[in-house]
Homo-oligomer: A and B are copies of this chain.
């Protein structure tokens, strides 16, 4: 191990000592697969600012199709990240909101966004450099 930060070293150690290090059925990878879903985290962050209705979400995430919005919301609901509430109005309206579990992922995911925001320029430059060298 090189001189990583204390905190980084801790995570690396935990990773290496995980009971199922890198098995395909490792439960952590199961959760991470959801996180890596194209739309899941985008919707979570959109719902983070408060409950929203179906078409409201469509407007705030313009490039999601209706199908994927429905499907992603159902998956998030299934995982207990999002709550769904139906109002018997006319026309009917449905409200989606983050559960406490859903809210709890905002912080760790925020760290990742912060990292991406801070480093996307560096990454972009590295890509240009790499491609020009080829």
Contacts and interface: CB of A to CB of B under 8 A. Distances in A.
A88 interface: no
Main secondary structure of the interface of A (DSSP, over half): helix
Place the interface of chain A in its size category. 35 or more
Task: Please give the count of copies of this chain that the complex contains.
Answer: 2
Nearest to A112: B108
B112 A109 contact: yes
A117 B105 CA distance: 12
A68 interface: no
15 contacts: A1-B49, A7-B107, A11-B48, A12-B45, A15-B49, A22-B62, A27-B124, A28-B113, A30-B120, A31-B120, A32-B41, A78-B127, A105-B119, A107-B111, A108-B115
